[in-house]
Amino acid sequence: MAINSRKIKDNIVRGLIYICVGISVALLVGIIVYVLVKGLPAVNWSFLTSVTSVLKGTVGIAGNIVNTLIIILITMLIATPIGVGSAIFLNEYAKPGKLVTIIEFATETLSGIPSIIFGLFGMMFFGEKLGFGYSILTGSFTLIIMVLPLITRNSQEALKTIPKSYRDGAIGLGSGKWHMIRTILIPSAMPGIITGAILAIGRIVGESAALLFTAGSAKLLPKGLEALLDKPFQSGGTLTIQMYLSATSEGDFVTAFGIAVVLLVIVLGINLGTKALTKHFDVTRKD
Amino acid sequence: MSKKAIIEKTAKGIFLICAVIAIFAVCAITFYMFVKGTPALKEVGVFDLLFGNVWKPTASEPSYGILYIILASLVGTAFSILIGVPIALLTAVFLSEMAGKKIGSIVGGAVELLAAIPSVIYGLIGMMVLNPIMYKFEKIIFENDSSHQFTAGANMLSAIIVLAIMILPTVISVSTSSLKAVLDNIRAASFALGATKIQTIFKAVIPSAKSGILTGVVLGIGRALGEAMAINMVAGGAVNIPLPFNSVRTLTTQIVSEMGYASGLHRQVLFTVGLVLFIFIMIVNFILLKARKRGESNGNK
């Protein structure tokens, strides 16, 4: 009798576990299928290469794609060196103590701050105090702070896996510390650094709250090289911002789902790509 | 000093500067949130602002009470945790204790991808799928209630469901790794005493992974409190007492939807809303730090 009721209880719990697993997986599949079904009809060549214009009668997101790319470029160009440099300091120079504790606490805190707060801060500091206004630069500066912890942590993990013998060998051969970092550590940590960078790009692509009040929402394509070079100082809405506006104030769900498809493809591609990358490098390192 | 020594010194200096930027960023954010967030507290009055329940920023006699906004954030977070955490924990149990390698990597991969989906997509799907369902319920429940303001399904309940889904990946991945870190001899000892697999999981493994799971829950709380865009799209656009079928504004959505046009005192009050959110998040961060420390001193992360 006791054993029997135990069995029944076990099976009920088992059933609950399977239901929960089912929910988690079904959510992902459901979201992907729903977005594809609703959005794929809107996605075609002209959607990706033209700008929405009542005059020409076109619907497109080319301007938003360009804005997104510029924001990624500027953010990563600045955030990657800082993040890697910070990881190198923490792992190679700093001795355990107050400073390291404070830096690590700051990095933890940054990664726990929600993006809307970054957005508010970016608007107040970069936009108003430093006078960049609603511009791609303001957005990029805001995102730099946001993705910094991600890059720092991944680079740190990568540096930690490099055997101590690499360092001892280089120093023993008479290399200076900087030379050793440049020629031995950074190349060896490259896969981890790249993984962190790609994850950061994924975060930027999906980000919306931090950009709404910093980078603005303009969606026109810059005309000519000069306009392109001036673009960082102009307002520019990314794909996510345009999707948000399409779905809310503009009420244009066709465009919203079209952008959702593009976002989903990019984000899932990035995720699967980094996974393949880490797997590949794990294998090569073990050999 | 030799040339080499100068290079070494410079390199170290530059790396130090890189590392210190994070500290500067945290200090600058804290500073700005307080400097911009406190003037409205003085002008409106701490009590009237934080505990007032009338939000009419653009009326001729404006009123800036954000009590319902704070409550909506707290209620939304609490209920999304209540719904999300059990689902997440059981999924984590499956991933760590029951799944084979192949199934485990499929489910684990799905959870990771769930984390990668941008919040605006959750919001869009919430608008298109969840809100119409809620509207149907709303029409049935409030059919004969003339005092109810219809929301077309954009309500607190929708926000809670979207949040519960959005915290799943965080809680699942942290709980899974802490369950996996439980030493095998704990499981073996439990089996040896005649416990079944399920009893072992719930009586021995989960208690040993308690602090790690708690860390996951706290991370989930932070995520739910700070989520802005997705719930802004599904929770409606009016400040109301956070009842299931009322349209509500939370701390985050209040900023998202009004910062674009607010000016003067209205804008300053929105900064105060940001400050309140920031303080909540800092409390969560602090608890997280404590939980992590306790986890480390217990020997399992």
Q: For residue range B103-122, what is the model confidence (pLDDT) as tens digits?
A: 999 999 999 999 999 999 99
| Closest approach of B142 to chain A, Cα-based (Å) | 26
Residue A34: CB partners within 8 Å, gap ≥ 6?
B125, B128, B129
pLDDT of A79 > 80? The answer is yes
Q: What's the structural domain count of chain A?
A: 2
| Contact residues on chain A for B112, CB-CB shorter than 8 A | 271, 275
B204 has a pLDDT exceeding 60: yes
B172 touches chain A (CB under 8 A): yes
Any chain A CB within 8 A of the CB of B207? no
Q: Which of A38, A116, A267 sits opposite B256 (nearest CB)?
A: A116
Give SS3 for B64: strand
Q: What is the CATH number of the domain that holds A217?
A: 1.10.3720.10
Q: What is the pLDDT of residues B164-194, one digit of tens each?
A: 999 999 999 999 999 999 999 999 999 999 9
Integer Cα distance of A5 and A20 in angstroms: 23
Q: What is the pLDDT of residues A17-32, one digit of tens each?
A: 999 999 999 999 999 9
One domain for residues A52 and A35: no
If one compares B202 and A221, the residue with the highest pLDDT of the two is B202
Mean pLDDT value of segment B25-39: 95
The letter for the amino acid at B253 is T
Residue B80: predicted pLDDT: 97
Print the SS3 string covering chain A. Answer: CHHHHHHHHHHHHHHHHHHHHHHHHHHHHHHHHHHHHHHHHHCCHHHHHCEEECCCCEEEEHHHHHHHHHHHHHHHHHHHHHHHHHHHHHHHHCCCCHHHHHHHHHHHHHHHCCHHHHHHHHHHHHHHHCCCCCCHHHHHHHHHHHHHHHHHHHHHHHHHHCCHHHHHHHHHCCCCHHHHHHHHHHHHHHHHHHHHHHHHHHHHHHCCHHHHCCCCCCCCCCCHHHHHHHHHHCCCCCHHHHHHHHHCCCCCHHHHHHHHHHHHHHHHHHHHHHHHHHHHHHHHHHC
User: What is the rounded CA–CA span in Å between residue B69 and residue B239?
Assistant: 7
Treating both helix axes as pointing N-terminal to C-terminal, what angle do B131-141 and B156-180 enclose, rounded to 10 degrees?
130
With pLDDT > 70 as the criterion, what percentage of chain B qualifies? 97
Same-domain status, A110 and A26: no
Stretch A273-278: mean pLDDT, rounded? Answer: 82
Does residue A66 have a pLDDT over 60? Answer: yes
Same domain? For A204 and A188 the reply is yes
Rounded Cα distance between B235 and B248, Å, is 6
Chain B interface disruption, residue of A7, A153, A181, A208, most B CBs within 10 A:
A208
**Measured between CB atoms, does A37 come within 8 Å of chain B?**
no
Q: Do A121 and A7 lie in a common domain?
A: no
| Rg for chain B, CA atoms, rounded | 24
Return the pLDDT at B293. 77
A31 and A97 both lie in a single domain: no
Residues of A numbered 241-270 whose beta carbons fall under 8 angstroms of chain B's beta carbons: which are they? 243-244, 247-248, 253, 256-257, 260, 263-264, 267-268, 270
Question: Looking at the structure, do residues A68 and A144 belong to the same domain, yes or no?
Answer: yes
Is there a contact between B12 and A10 if contact means CB atoms under 8 Å apart? no
From the list A89, A92, A267, the residue facing B116 with the nearest CB is A267
Beta-bridge mates of residue A268: none
Which of A27, A107, A115, A118 to mutate against chain B (most B CBs within 10 Å)?
A27
Question: Which of A61-70, A170-179, B119-128 is predicted least confidently?
Answer: A170-179
Chain B residues inside the 8 Å CB shell of A117: 29, 33, 226, 274, 277-278, 281
Q: pLDDT band at A115, cuts 50/70/90? A: very high
User: pLDDT digits over A160-216, tens only?
Assistant: 999 989 998 988 898 888 989 998 899 999 988 998 999 999 999 999 999 999 998
Q: Which of A72-81, A155-164, A198-207, B54-63 is least confident?
A: B54-63
| A244:B274 CB<8 A | no
Answer for the pair B253, B231: CB distance below 8 angstroms, yes or no: yes
Could you tell me the pLDDT band of residue A283, with boundaries at 50, 70 and 90?
Answer: low
Residue B171: closest CA among chain A residues belongs to which residue?
A: A24
Cα distances (Å, whole numbers) of residue B122 to A158, A250, B167, B288: 32, 18, 12, 26
Q: In chain B, what percentage of residues exceed pLDDT 90? A: 70
Using a CB-CB cut-off of 8 Å, the residues of chain A touching B271 are 120, 124
Note whether A27 and A134 are same-domain residues: no
* Residues A110, B25: C-beta atoms closer than 8 Å: yes
Whether A143 contacts chain B with CB within 8 A: no
CA-based nearest residue to B67, from B84, B44, B35, B83: B44
Contacts with B, A 115-134, CB within 8 Å: 115-118, 120-121, 123-125
Is residue B300 over pLDDT 60? no
If asked whether residues A8 and A114 sit together in one domain, one would say: no
Query: Bridge partners of A58?
Result: A53
Residue whose C-alpha is closest to residue A205's, from A266, A139, A246: A266
Q: Are residues A126 and A63 in the same domain?
A: yes
A102 touches chain B (CB under 8 A): yes
Mutate to test the interface with B, among A9, A21, A98, A193 (most CBs of B within 10 A): A21
Q: How far apart are CA A222 and CA A231, in angstroms?
A: 7
Contact of A28 with A34, CB cutoff 8 Å? no
Q: What tokens appear for A178 in the block?
A: 């900087």
C-alpha A221, offset from chain centre? 23
List pLDDT tens digits, range A225-240: 888 888 888 888 999 9
Q: Please tell me what DSSP assigns to residue B240.
A: -
Q: Round to whole Å and give the CA distance between B274 and B33.
A: 7
A105 and A10, same domain (yes or no):
no
Per-residue confidence (pLDDT) for residue B35, from 0 to 100: 95
Q: Which residue from B223, B211, B243, B213 is spatially nearest to B165, judged by alpha carbons?
A: B223
> Is there a contact between B40 and B271 (Cβ–Cβ < 8 Å)?
yes
CATH annotation of B67-297: 1.10.3720.10
Nearest-by-CA chain A residue for B35: A124
- Give the number of other CB atoms < 10 A from CB of residue B120: 30
Task: Answer yes or no: is pLDDT of B294 > 80.
Answer: no
pLDDT at res. B1: 67
Residue B125 to residue A31, Cβ atoms within 8 A:
yes
Give the domain extent around A35: 2-42
Taking an 8 Å cut-off on Cβ atoms, the answer to whether B11 and A124 are in contact is no
pLDDT (average), residues B236-265: 90
In the predicted model, what is the mean pLDDT of chain A? 89
- At B91 the pLDDT is 96
Say if residue A284's pLDDT is above 90.
no
Burial (CB count <10 Å: 0-12, 13-18, 19+), residue B212: buried
pLDDT of residue B268 exceeding 70, the answer is yes
Q: Which strand (E) or helix (H) includes residue B56? A: strand B55-56
Do residues A71 and A14 share a domain?
Answer: no
- Is the pLDDT at B296 greater than 80, yes or no? no
Q: Is the pLDDT of residue B301 over 60?
A: no
**Whole-angstrom Cα distance, residue B65 to residue B54?**
5
